[in-house]
């Protein structure tokens, strides 16, 4: 079982820390990446951390993960609410997927209550701020370790 995890971030998350800090906080995406990478070292996992404002790039990274990774953490941002292409790509990925939202989407506008990605995700974290990423990583580590033990 691959110990490589893809952490994928959708549109506008490059502005994390600057954009609506009352909703998304003051941490930047680079801060989140560093925190995730340092926890991954502890958990003996490897990380590919990406962000894009373009749907096709996220689809392409999911295809890459399909060949190489043991899990995906994805914050699809606005694509969550309408991207069938990202859902289809995730449906072609055979390992655990955790969907993360920094804000509690269920407390916000009604259009944010619907997630196409949740139709595939094995778990969803929303409203726990950027801590959602590290919690998702701990969960994936546990799932991968359990699977590896079951195989030995």
Sheet holding 97-101, edge to edge: 46-51, 4-9, 71-75, 97-101, 123-126
| Selected catalytic residue, list 50, 101, 106, 113 | 101
CA distance 130 to 110: 22
Q: Is 133 tagged catalytic? A: no
| Selected catalytic residue, list 24, 26, 82, 133 | 24
Residue with tokens 């295809």: 63
CA distance 2 to 145: 10
Shortest CB 121 distance to ligand DQA, Å: 13
Decide: 131 and 73 in contact? Cβ < 8 Å: no
Question: Binders of ligand DQA among 79-98, rule CB under 6 A?
Answer: 80
CA distance 66 to 42: 24
Question: Binders of ligand DQA among 95-114, rule CB under 6 A?
Answer: 101-103, 105, 112
State the CB neighbour count (10 A cutoff) for residue 83.
Answer: 21
Quick note: the x/- pattern for ligand DQA over 5-44, rule CB under 6 A, is: -------x--------------------------------
Q: Which helix (H) or strand (E) holds 32?
A: helix 29-42
Shortest CB 21 distance to ligand DQA, Å: 13
Asked if 74 is part of the footprint of ligand DQA (rule: CB under 6 A), the reply reads: no
Shortest CB 112 distance to ligand DQA, Å: 4
Number of residues that bind ligand DQA (CB under 6 A): 10
Which residues make up the interface to ligand DQA (CB under 6 A)?
12, 75, 77-78, 80, 101-103, 105, 112
State the catalytic residues: 24, 101
């Amino acid at each position: 079982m691959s110990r490589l995890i893809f952490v994928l971030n959708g549109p506008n998350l490059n502005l994390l820390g600057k954009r609506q800090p009352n909703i998304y906080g003051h941490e930047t995406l680079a801060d989140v990446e560093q925190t995730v990478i340092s926890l991954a070292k502890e958990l003996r996992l490897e990380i590919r951390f990406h962000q894009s404002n373009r749907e096709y790039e996220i689809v392409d990274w999911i295809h890459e993960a399909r060949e190489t990774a043991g899990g995906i953490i994805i914050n699809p941002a606005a694509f969550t609410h309408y991207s069938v292409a990202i859902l289809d790509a995730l449906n072609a990925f055979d390992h655990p997927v955790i969907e993360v939202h920094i804000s509690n989407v269920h407390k916000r506008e009604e259009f944010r209550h619907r997630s196409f990605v949740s139709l595939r995700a094995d778990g969803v974290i929303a409203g726990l701020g950027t801590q959602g990423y590290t919690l998702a990583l701990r969960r994936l580590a546990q799932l991968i370790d359990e699977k590896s033990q079951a195989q030995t």
